[in-house]
Structures are given as C-alpha cells and as structure tokens.
Amino acid sequence: MFNDEKVLPQAEIIAIGNEVISGLIQDTNGRYLSQQLHLLGVNVLRITAIGDDKNCISRVVEDALERVDIVITTGGLGSTYDDITKDVLAQIFNSKMILDNRVRSMLEVTFKKRSQKIPANLHSQYEVPEDATILYNNKGTAPGFLFKRDEKKLFSLPGVPLEMEHLFDTYIASDLKKIQKGVIDHRIIKTVGLTEASLWEKFGPVEPLAKLVTVASLPSYLGVKIRLSYCSKNTEQVKIRLKEAELMVMTSLGKWVYGKDNETLEGKVGELLKEKGKTLAVAESCTGGLIGHRLTEEPGSSSYFLESLVAYSNEAKTGRLEVPSALIKKHGAVSREVALAMAEGIRKTSGADIGLSVTGVAGPGSSDKKLVGTVFIGISEEKKSNCEDFIFYNDRSRNKERSAQAALNLLRRWLLNLKM
Amino acid sequence: MFNDEKVLPQAEIIAIGNEVISGLIQDTNGRYLSQQLHLLGVNVLRITAIGDDKNCISRVVEDALERVDIVITTGGLGSTYDDITKDVLAQIFNSKMILDNRVRSMLEVTFKKRSQKIPANLHSQYEVPEDATILYNNKGTAPGFLFKRDEKKLFSLPGVPLEMEHLFDTYIASDLKKIQKGVIDHRIIKTVGLTEASLWEKFGPVEPLAKLVTVASLPSYLGVKIRLSYCSKNTEQVKIRLKEAELMVMTSLGKWVYGKDNETLEGKVGELLKEKGKTLAVAESCTGGLIGHRLTEEPGSSSYFLESLVAYSNEAKTGRLEVPSALIKKHGAVSREVALAMAEGIRKTSGADIGLSVTGVAGPGSSDKKLVGTVFIGISEEKKSNCEDFIFYNDRSRNKERSAQAALNLLRRWLLNLKM
C-alpha cells in the first residue's frame, strides 16, 4: 500500500459498542484515529467494530495483539451495565481491580462545581486495573488505560469523540512521537466538473505519477478527489515528493481543481471574490437555500456575500427579482430565459456586482413538464452574463447538492475567466 | 444484547479499501448494511475495515466465513489497479474468470446514451468469476457477486453507497426475506429542546420501560434520540412491544417529540403547515440559507414554503424586509427587536401567513459586541408574534445548525400551540 511501510509500526483499532455494531450510530473514532496514526508514521491494518460482548471483545483484542504493535480500543468504558471493556481487558491482562484516588478526586471536583455529589452509578469509575497506566480524563467521567504486553501496547479510550480525541492527543500522540520512525502523509487534490473516466483521460498515462507516489482516485457525485500518498523515514522527503506529484496533477488538471486537503469550493469562491473586491447575491429556486448555506460556512463571508433569495414561488421570482411573469409563462420557471432573468434580477435588486441563479426540478415530481433533474444556472455581471444547463438523474437531495456544486463551480470559473 | 437473538442468522460486514483504512473517507456502508440486516432479522457480529491487500482480504474473509452464515464485502470492485476484491474472492472460491455478456451489453447501453464507447479501462468489468451469481448493477459499472460455500453465503458489493444500496435492496434483501426467522426492530423517538439529563428527569424511573424493551439514549447537540429495541421470532410480538414502549415515552415526553424513525423536524413542520393550510416565509441571517435548505428537503414543500430571504447584509434587512435602519442602529442587527421586525417584514413583503426569522452571531468573530453564539429567533402571524433567544457556544457550523434546529422547533411549537 505505501512505499516504505515495512519500516513502520503497525496498529489496529477496535470500536466497541452495541450502538455501533447495530448501525444505530456511525463510528467516527476509527477514522479519526487512523488519520492521526498515519501522520505519526503508524500504519493501520484493520478497524473492527464489535458489540459489548465479552467473548467477542476478548477474541478480537487477543488476535490484534498477535498481529500488531499497537492496539487502540474505543468505547465501553462508561458506567452503565453494558459497558464491560474495562473488566474484559483486566481479565485479558490478568490484572485485579484497585481504587484510584485521583480519578475519584477529579470527579469530586467536577460535581462540586455543579454543587452535586458524585452519582452512585459513577462510583465504579474509580476502580481501575492494577497493572494499567491510567489516562486521566478531564473532559468526561471515564479514564482511559494503557496496558503493556512485552513490546506491545494496548490503549483503551472512551467512545465519546471529544474525550477520545483529548486522551489521544494528551497521552498517545506524545508517546508515539518518541518512537516515530517515519511519516505517511497525503495530499488531496479536489476537482469538480469532470467524471472519473474523463479526468484520467485528460491526465494521460498515470504511470509517471504512480512511480512518484501512491495514487488513489475517489469519485463522488460532487466531483473526483485525487489522493497522493507517500511514506518515508525522512519527513522532508515526504514533503518534496508530494509537492512534485501535486505539480504534475496541477499541470494537466489545474482548471478543474478548486482546492487541496481541507479546502472547499465555497472557500475558493470566497477567496476569489475577496481578491477581486466583488460582491455576490444569489437567487435560488430548487437548491432551496443550500448555496447560501454553503457560502456562509466560510467565516468572514459577510464581506462579499450580500444575500440569497430563495424564490420558491413564482410570486417571489416576479416580485422580488423582477422576472417578467410573461417570461415565466412563455418558457416555464425552469428555463434558460428565467435563469438569466433571475441572475440579473438578484444582481440589480441587491446592488451586488455578481448575480448567481439556479432554477431546476429537484424532484421527485415535476409540475413544469421538464424532466426531474433539469437545472439551469445563470450568472450576471453588469456587462456580461451566461447560463449553463444540466440534467442530473438523482433523488431530490442529491439533485440539490449537485446543483449547488455546479453553481459554485460556474462562479469559480467565471471569476477565474476559465473557458472549459 | 437483544432479547431473543440466538435464533437469528449471523453476519459480518467487511469494508475493503485503502481510502477507508487510512481514514481518508468515512465508511458509511457498514452502518447502512448493519441497520438493514437487523430489520431482516440478521444479527451483525463484526464490521471490519481493511485495505486493498491480498493477504489481508483473504484472511479476513476466510475467518468471517468460519464464524458466520452471511458475509458481505463492500468496495474494491472498481476498474483501477488497486481494486482487487474480485480476483481475491475468485481465488478463495477456486473460481476461474469468464466473460459475461450481459455486463458488457449493460455498459454498452449506458455509454451509447452518452454517444460514447466503453472506455478501455472498464473492459475488465465483464470478467466475472465462473462460480459466482452475478448481481447486475444498473446504477454503476461494477457488478456485485454472490459466492456460496456449503450453507454459507458471501455477497460482494461495490463501495459507492448508491450502488451498494441498490444491489442490497435488489438481491440481498429479497434473498434474506425467504429465510427470515425473526426480527430485531427498533423504534427511534426523536426529541428536541431538552438536554439528556433533563429529559430523563422528566421521564422519571427508566426501569418500567427497560423491562419492556432495550433502551438507549443518544444525545447530540441537536437533540436527544431514544432508541427502543426488541427482538423475537414473533414479528407481531415485536410490533406490540415497541408500540407499548413508544406510548410510555410519548406520555411523559410527547411535547418534545417531533417524530420517530426516519421522520424529520422539517417534515413535521411541513405536515403541520399543510394541515392548517398556512404558508411560510423565512428571513435568515446567521443560518445563511440552512433553514430554507432543510424545509425544501421535503418533496412538495412548494405548497407551503414561499421563500427564504438570506439577509446577510444590513441593506438586505432594511431594503427587502423593511426593518427600520434606526432599529438596527439602536439595538444592533442581533437583537430581539430586529428579529421580530425581520419576522414581520418577511411575512408582510412575501404575503405568507407566517414569518420566521433568525439573527445571530455564528462566529468565529463578532462585529456586534454580542457574544459568539447569541441567537434571536422571531415568529410573526397577523395577530401575534414571539421571540426566543439562545446562547450557543460552538463553532460556526454547529451554531448555524443549532440555530436552524431551534427555529424549526419554535415553528413546530407555534403551530401546535405548545407552551413549554
């Protein structure tokens, strides 16, 4: 999988909880830990979710300790009757339970602040396995534990993400940094507007890139992400390789790339608007407010985003946006003509430099004799305007998401003056 | 874990992909499959995520086939070089590859629609293991497979959620229904407006409920969900138990319950508006369009939702909503007075029966001398109006989400005439 991975320590993650295994909640701890471990040069082999079952926990933990150097469990450390992780681990490591005064005094302080006594059901939290190192938790009631067997380590963390992350950062990351032998790092290049097949066709042969780094292509209905990964003992070398690979991708696909790693399309658009000193207003129909919602996820968006008008009714289109009702009558609310009139209307009535509009049929029904998934996106500035049309084929929610993505991408290309 | 679970067939789910094991993407397939399998009376013992590694896939698949009756793998069926699931499974089941004409002709039809030939890198998709039953996929390019060993079944599905769900529904669900021996079912009761602690305080002793069904309490920053579960050979018995438990919860917590199972707060609000024949318009500031987005997730929302105005700038508030600029000057844009004026303004200018408004400081910065997280929510009808205020303490995104949730809840209570 990775270039140099054999030099690295190996880990497994075990998520424990009936609520996870029954599908009631999504386990997100596995992903968080996996990302963090990679950055610390630890290769993750498995993430296993299991229920609060004694035999199953024992077996999965023992098997993982056979295979890898580091095992991290999450969950099952609470104080309700189905939380059994601590007892099962104590048995696995032949450790008897003792009382820990520091856990008790930490809880006392917490409850004193609320002028309360420690509830009886939390008393079991002071009982800890004698042979474990205690990972004191000041973000919750359950401490974590570190058990050792020969050179191997097992960390047991609570399942609440906030507490799990806190204990990982406080105890595990610092521990692993001491033995760090290398780094696995990634660069994610995010594209919009191409299918996976046409993206790789435009890129050409992938071999030169694949010689440099490990490449993964991650398609979704909002765009394709390209992940470049490299692993080495030499941290500097990892940076250089990823930079080189990134340049190779940008050279052929730059026009379709809106950002990397944690960057977002709405962030890119915001950056461009700020750079050019332009303001924006949006007229949304089928997206229902999603474009405004995405734009305002960016801190500071109030400096360029003036307003969004969700003109769901025809009255809002004619009244607020001054779209002539004859135009709607002639072409239908979902049409090129109305999209352009909406973009111009929101620009003029709001006083923004740029008007962006979306009108379409999200589905499942269509009152407009247009196919479900038909979407028109308009953009208007004082001296020029444009409209693009799309036919998506998805359900209501996805059509809304794809329409918002296409609208933000049209705006990005408009601001960059990119012809496609 | 469940009352009668030993009578049920057992399954394991295996998510295959470097992008999952490295934490690049969140696997959501495991959760989906686990939920669906439970409803079909299949108990899930493990969900394991592993990379695209031949030895690891072989070992995990063989081990799972030892333990359980049904194994479902997801991922690794694409046509890029790191997709190896099909080949590894063919080896495990000693099956050679043959060409499948139906897979090819389905691809031909798909690409003909786009006036294209099948790209060369997709040709490997017609190669299928001779001994597998093919699960034809008309939502994507990769077919799924069913392998059998004695009484045990292994289903291999693509990793793209839409395709995975489609093949599960088409092939696996119907197959499992034939051998269904019992049901594990859940009822989720969704509440809003109470913390977990105050919710259970209002409920009183949980024991009578816990005698009837298995109870789980799932808090999040948007509200608390209560899950009631029961398992039995007798499907009718499961329904009766869950109904009885649901009634017990509704009796004490009904005012805070907005729905059950897949119901949403925006759906509930939409239902109430339709029932009462009232129309709605929204003036959003800090939520940026999220309320409109949520309202329009409901099919048919155009019958009651007229428009949302995302008045991010003060000009939009005064111009579009006719909020007196003196009012903004005197009290600040984030104030009770402005929230009420926005609600009245959107109602009057849109012609809707009800106007709903939100104004607040989403953060991270505040230009208004108000604390980050301060939010005012206004509601206006012809003869009455109301305003509630909140202080949230989270990041920008969560403050937006909590504000939208609080606004929709205020509207729900308004429509139901509920005093809290």
What are the tens digits of pLDDT across the range A49-62? 999 999 999 999 99
Q: How many of the other CB atoms lie within 10 Å of CB of A330?
A: 11
CB contact under 8 A, B23 and A34: yes
For B362, which residue in chain A has the nearest alpha carbon?
A299
Give the one of A26, A45, A217 whose C-beta lies nearest to B80's C-beta: A217
> How close does chain B come to A315, measured CA to CA in Å?
8
**Would you call A306 and B292 a contact, using CB atoms and an 8 Å cutoff?**
no
Which of B310, B361, B367, B405 is best to mutate for the A interface (most A CBs within 10 A)?
Answer: B310
CA distance linking residue B223 with residue A198, whole number of Å:
43
For the beta carbon of residue B121, count every other beta carbon within 10 angstroms: 16
Residues A135 and A145 sit within 8 Å (Cβ to Cβ):
yes
Q: Given an 8 Å threshold on Cβ–Cβ distance, is A307 in contact with B320?
A: yes
Question: Contact B47/A48, CB-based, under 8 Å?
Answer: yes
Residues of chain B above pLDDT 90, percent: 70
List chain B residues with CB under 8 Å of A23.
30-38, 44
**Tokens, residue A120:** 């009886």
Domain spanning B185-260, CATH class: alpha beta
Q: Residue B121 and residue A197: Cβ atoms within 8 Å?
A: yes
Name the residue of chain A whose CA is nearest to B35's CA. A23
Q: Tell me which residue in B34, B80, B310 faces A308 most closely, judged by beta carbons.
A: B310
Does position A264 have pLDDT exceeding 90, yes or no? yes
Q: Residues B216-246: pLDDT tens digits?
A: 887 788 999 998 989 888 889 999 999 999 9
Most confident of A118-122, A402-406, B106-110: A402-406
Write down the residue that tokens 């009558």 correspond to.
A329
Q: How close, in Å, is residue B193 to chain A by CA atoms? A: 21
Query: What is the mean pLDDT of the segment spanning B344-362?
Result: 96
Helix A396-416 to helix A265-276 angle, to the nearest 10 degrees? 30
Q: What is the number of CB-based contacts under 8 A between chain A and chain B?
A: 255
Query: Which residue does chain B place closest to A18, by CA atoms?
Result: B1
Model pLDDT for residues A103-128, shown as the tens digit of each residue? 999 999 888 876 778 878 788 899 99
d(CA B305, CA B320): 18
Mutant choice from B3, B19, B24, B317 vs A, greatest count of A C-beta within 10 A: B24
Q: Distance, in angstroms, between A225 CA and closest chain B CA?
A: 11
Nearest Cα residue in chain B from A364 = B299
Question: What is the percent of chain B where pLDDT is above 70?
Answer: 97
The verdict on a CB contact (< 8 Å) between B296 and A307 is no
Average pLDDT, chain B: 92
Q: Is B397 in Cβ contact with A297 (below 8 Å)?
A: yes
A377 in Cβ contact with A357 (< 8 Å):
yes
Q: Is B115 left (phi over 0), alpha (psi -120 to 50) or beta?
A: left
Candidate from B299, B306, B364 with C-beta closest to A364: B299
Indicate the pairing of strand B280-284 with strand B97-99: unpaired
| CB-based contact A38 B22, cutoff 8 Å | yes
Evaluate if residue A379 carries a pLDDT over 90.
yes
CB pair distance less than 8 Å for A23 and B45: no
* CB-nearest partner of A44 from B22, B229, B284: B22
Residues A194-243: tens digit of each pLDDT: 988 789 889 998 889 989 998 888 888 899 999 898 988 888 999 999 99
- At residue B308, the 3 state secondary structure works out as strand
Per-chain mean pLDDT for chain A: 92
Q: Give the distance from residue B1's alpha carbon to the nearest chain A alpha carbon, in angstroms.
A: 7
What are B269's two structure tokens? 């609000």
State residue A46 phi and psi, 5-degree precision: -145, 145
**A64, A50 Cβ separation under 8 angstroms:** no
Least confident range from A130-144, A355-369, B128-142: namely A355-369
Q: Return d(Cα A298, Cα A43) in angstroms, integer.
A: 33
Distance CA B349, CA B58 (A): 65
Higher confidence at residue B201 or residue A14? A14
* Residue predicted with more confidence, B10 or A365: B10
3-class SS string, chain A: CCCCHHHCCEEEEEEECHHHHCCCCCCCHHHHHHHHHHHCCCEEEEEEEECCCHHHHHHHHHHHHHHCCEEEEECCCCCCCCCCHHHHHHHHCCCCEEECHHHHHHHHHHHHHCCCCCCHHHHHHHEEECCCEEECCCCCCCCEEEEEECCEEEEEECCCHHHHHHHHHHHHHHHHHHCCCCEEEEEEEEECCCCHHHHHHHHCCCHHHHHHCEEEEEEECCEEEEEEEEEECCHHHHHHHHHHHHHHHHHHHHHHEEEECCCCHHHHHHHHHHHHCCCEEEEECCCCCHHHHHHCCCCCHHHCEEEEEEECCHHHHHHCCCCCHHHHHHHCCCCHHHHHHHHHHHHHHHCCCEEEEEEECCCCCCCCCCCCCEEEEEEECCCCEEEEEEECCCCHHHHHHHHHHHHHHHHHHHHHCCCC
Q: Which two tokens stand for residue A267?
A: 């962030």
Between chains, do B46 and A31 touch, taking CB under 8 Å as contact?
no
Residue A362: what pLDDT? 87
Contact A306 B300 (CB under 8 A): no
How far apart are the C-alpha atoms of B187 and B33, rounded to whole Å? 17
Rounded Cα distance, B63 and B61, in Å: 5
The answer to whether the Cβ–Cβ distance between A400 and B305 falls below 8 Å is no
Is pLDDT at A268 greater than 50 in this prediction?
A: yes
Q: Do B312 and A301 touch (CB under 8 A)?
A: yes
In chain B, which residues have their Cβ closer than 8 Å to the Cβ of A306? 312-313, 315-316
User: Any idea which of A122-126, A250-254, A383-387 has the lowest mean pLDDT?
Assistant: A122-126
Chain A residues touching residue B300 (CB < 8 angstroms)? 365
- Report ipTM (2 d.p.): 0.76
User: Could you say which of 3.30.70.2860, 2.40.110.10, 3.30.450.20, 3.40.710.10 is the CATH number of the domain covering A184-260?
Assistant: 3.30.70.2860
- Tokens 């106007």 label which residue? B355
Facing residues of B153 across strands? B70, B148
Q: Which residues from B are below 8 Å from A46, CB to CB?
A: 21, 48-50, 56, 60
Determine whether B275 is exposed, middle or buried from the number of CB atoms within 10 Å of its CB (0-12, 13-18, 19+).
exposed
- Cross-chain CB nearest to B19 (options A227, A290, A299): A227
Starting at the earlier edge strand, list the strands of the sheet with B257-260. B214-220, B223-232, B183-191, B257-260
Whether the per-residue pLDDT at A140 is higher than 90: the answer is no
**CA-to-CA separations, A57 to A33, A124, A355, B361, in angstroms, rounded:** 19, 20, 58, 46
Give chain A positions within 8 Å (CB) of B397: 297
Poorest-pLDDT segment among A21-35, B141-155, B377-391: A21-35
> What confidence tens digit (pLDDT) does each residue in A166-197 have?
999 999 999 998 888 778 888 999 999 998 87
- B214-220 and A257-260 beta bridge pairing: unpaired
Query: What integer pLDDT is reported at residue A208 of this predicted model?
Result: 92
**Chain A residues close to B23, C-beta within 8 Å:** 30-36, 38, 44
Confidence of residue B1 (pLDDT cuts 50, 70, 90): very low
Check if the beta carbon of residue A234 is closer than 8 Å to that of residue A209. Answer: no
Nearest-angstrom CA–CA distance, B98 and B66: 28
Of A33, A227, A289, the CB nearest to B289: A289
Q: Do B214 and B229 form a contact (C-beta atoms < 8 A)? A: yes
User: Is the confidence at residue B128, as pLDDT, over 70?
Assistant: yes
Confidence of residue B6 (pLDDT cuts 50, 70, 90): low
Q: For domain A5-178, give the CATH superfamily.
A: MoaB/Mog-like domain (3.40.980.10)
Under a CB-based contact definition with an 8 Å cutoff, are residues A191 and A180 in contact? no
Instruction: Indicate left, alpha or beta for B412 from its phi (over 0: left) and psi (-120 to 50: alpha).
Output: alpha
List of residues 6+ apart from B239 with CB closer than 8 A: B185
Using DSSP's 3-state secondary structure scheme, residue B269 falls into: helix
Cα(A46)–Cα(B59) distance, integer angstroms: 12
Q: Where are the domains of chain B?
A: 5-178, 185-260, 265-415
Q: Please write the tens of the pLDDT for every residue from A67-96.
A: 999 999 999 998 776 789 999 999 999 999
Q: How many CB atoms lie within 10 A of CB B55?
A: 8
Alpha carbons A23 and A12: distance in angstroms, whole number: 21
**CA–CA separation, B275 and B417 (whole Å):** 14
Mutation site for A-interface testing, chosen from B14, B16, B26, B31 by largest number of A Cβ within 10 Å: B31
| pLDDT range class, residue A1, cuts 50, 70, 90 | very low
Residues in A touching B31 (Cβ below 8 Å): 23, 25-27
In chain A, the residue whose alpha carbon lies closest to the alpha carbon of B120 is: A197
pLDDT, residue B285, reads 94
Tell me whether residues A296 and B350 touch, CB distance under 8 A.
no
* Residue A97 structure tokens: 């339970």
Closest Cβ–Cβ partner in B306, B311, B315 for A312: B306
- Distance from first CA to last CA of chain A, Å, rounded? 35
Whether residue B2 has pLDDT greater than 80: no
Closest CA to B307 of B349, B360, B359: B349
Percentage of residues of chain A with pLDDT beyond 90:
71
Q: Are A398 and A392 in contact (CB under 8 A)?
A: yes
Q: Is B197 exposed, middle or buried (0-12, 13-18, 19+ CB in 10 A)?
A: exposed
Any idea how long chain B is?
420
Answer whether residue B391 shows pLDDT above 70.
Answer: yes
* Nearest-CA distance A397 → chain B (Å): 6
Q: What is the CATH number of domain A265-416?
A: 3.90.950.20
pLDDT per position as a tens digit, A272-323: 999 999 999 999 999 999 999 999 999 999 999 999 999 988 888 999 999 9
Picking from A24, A294, A315, the nearest residue to B216 by CB comes out as A24
pLDDT tens across B249-278, in order? 999 999 999 999 989 999 999 999 999 999
pLDDT of B285-337, one tens digit each? 999 999 999 999 999 999 999 999 999 888 889 999 999 999 999 999 999 99
pLDDT in the model for residue A4: 55
Among A115-129, B150-164, B379-393, which stretch is predicted with the lowest mean pLDDT? A115-129
pLDDT top residue among A365 and A400: A400
Task: Give the residue, A328 or A214, on which the prediction is more confident.
Answer: A328
Label residues A182-206 b or e (16+ Cβ within 10 Å = b). bbbbbbbbbbbbbebbebbeebeee
Residue of B nearest to A279 (CA): B313
Phi first, then psi: what are they for B142, rounded to 5°?
Answer: -100, 120
pTM > 0.80: yes or no: no
**Class of the CATH domain delimited by B265-415:** alpha beta
